[in-house]
Amino acid sequence: MSDDGPATDSPPTTTLSGNVTDRPNIVMVSIDSLRADHCGFLGDDRGLTPTMDRLATEGVAYETAIAPGPQTFSSMPEVFTGGPRPPTSLTSYPQASHWERRLAAIDTHLSRNASLPERLAARGYKTAGITPNPWTAAAAGFDRGFDHFEDVSTSDSSGWLAALAERLPKVDTDARPVQLVLNMAAGSEFFAQWETLNRQIKQVRRRLSEPYFLWVFVLDTHFPFLPSRRQREEQSLLGTYYSAYRSSEPMRGNAEGMSDRVRRSVLRSYRDTVRTSDAFLDRLRSELAADDPVLLVHSDHGESFGDHGNYGHHHRELYEENVHVPYLIHNAGISTTVTAPTSLRSIPETAVAIAEGTFSPGTDSDRWAIATSECGTHRAVRGSRYKYIESEGDGELFDLDADPDETENIAGEVPEQSRRLHRQLRRREAHTTETRRLQRATSRVVANGDL
């Protein structure tokens, strides 16, 4: 059975001189939890993403972009390094809390693999990053390679709140639930909206000489969905907070479901946050127009709203709503559509190719894109037609041409196709194991002073 095809026919290539001053500025925008099926250039007809749609039409649109994992901590480390992150249960890390152990695991991966800002800095780029997401913060090692790094996952504006909380009896301000309350009050971390990042973006831009690489992570489409007033077209202010409160437990993975009324309200809020994120792209393009940057836009993973019985992304499932994401490149001198599966792990190589003037859309795609959960219990192989998911040892196969919603498992009907895709997972596992073995050997050599 055929499950592949060319990404593009004779893809064009950009060409630049080797002079650093001739290299383009590059801006990358990562959008948290944005599903592909809410973007117009990927088939949605509700008009939620007019800016993204225009950028995709004028640039390179990836129809089948696949996130490396279903959550930020399983996706963004690979997006930044291009290298597979070995599965981990986090038990080998000595930190006291699960939260701290996860940060340490991400930091370990980034310390062992050159990141995108490090690679661009080595090519003469000045680099800056702005992120409110704690899984991509300095504590997770994401500040490596950046000349300027604005960690908005904690906010100075919450300082007086923390000081007040510390004076209250039996309140541990280091406890994660207390930190969430303080961040909500301060509008930082998962509660940050893109308007709060404007000041940092302007300040950072003034510090950067060209060519520069600027990375911005926006969280508007991350739960709780709190759309800005201007983009609140479907949801009322009261409805925004009503749906956030009533859906909090299932969206955070602490309950199994919600009523249809609450689900419809949550979706209205989510669609308005999609509009909000799109408005950010329009604003950013306008403010950086004089710099004429190449723009890369992608989501880190998707979001569940009852699909396959799941809500939010506090689970490990790898269905399309969780890993099929928007990805586009604008102003790289090329306009085309790439249909072949493309893992977001290709982003570092693609950005370097843009910097060096060798970008060729389609060469960053493959016959298969692989996604895994952090602990490795859930793994998926996405081809052009077929998709194989392995969860806790059980395999599911879907024909996405006939069944795009992944409702009918046909693994028993076409066992050879299942075995074929399972072999791809085994190859990925072997490659990851070999890479880790080489990294350990190199570390021992360096430690022993044998170089």
- Report the CATH number that the domain containing residue 396 is assigned in CATH: 3.30.1120
Same domain for 358 and 425? no
Query: Residue 286 falls within a domain, yes or no?
Result: yes
Same domain for 82 and 50? yes
CA distances 131 to 51, 114, 198, 381, Å, are 22, 19, 12, 30
Query: Residue 103 falls within a domain, yes or no?
Result: yes
Domain boundary among 312, 336, 367: 367
Same domain for 194 and 127? yes
Query: Residue 378 falls within a domain, yes or no?
Result: no
Same domain for 71 and 112? yes
Same domain for 351 and 222? yes
Same domain for 222 and 253? yes
Query: Residue 182 falls within a domain, yes or no?
Result: no
10-residue averages of pLDDT along the chain (451 residues): 42 53 94 98 98 98 98 97 90 90 95 97 97 95 97 60 49 49 48 74 94 96 90 92 90 86 96 96 96 98 95 93 98 97 97 97 89 93 96 91 97 94 87 68 58 55
Residue type, 53: D
Domain count, the chain: 2
Q: What is the pLDDT of residue 137?
A: 96
Q: What is the pLDDT of residue 10?
A: 41
Query: Residue 144 falls within a domain, yes or no?
Result: yes
Same domain for 326 and 407? no
* CATH at 130: 3.40.720.10
Q: What is the pLDDT of residue 404?
A: 97
Domain boundary among 332, 367, 402: 367
Query: Residue 411 falls within a domain, yes or no?
Result: yes
Give the Cα separation of 53 and 44 in Å (integer): 10
Q: What is the pLDDT of residue 1?
A: 41
Same domain for 94 and 127? yes
Q: What is the pLDDT of residue 115?
A: 97
C-beta of residue 318 within 8 angstroms of C-beta of residue 380: yes
Provide the residue range defining the domain that includes 443.
Answer: 383-451
Same domain for 328 and 434? no
Same domain for 276 and 250? yes
Query: Residue 93 falls within a domain, yes or no?
Result: yes
Q: What is the pLDDT of residue 253?
A: 82
Query: Residue 174 falls within a domain, yes or no?
Result: no
Residue type, 447: A
Q: What is the pLDDT of residue 23?
A: 96
Same domain for 148 and 223? yes
Domain boundary among 367, 395, 417: 367
Helix 260-287 with 237-251: angle, nearest 10 deg: 110
Angle subtended at Cα 344 by Cα 203 and Cα 76, rounded to the nearest 5 degrees? 55
Same domain for 313 and 414? no
Q: What is the pLDDT of residue 164?
A: 46
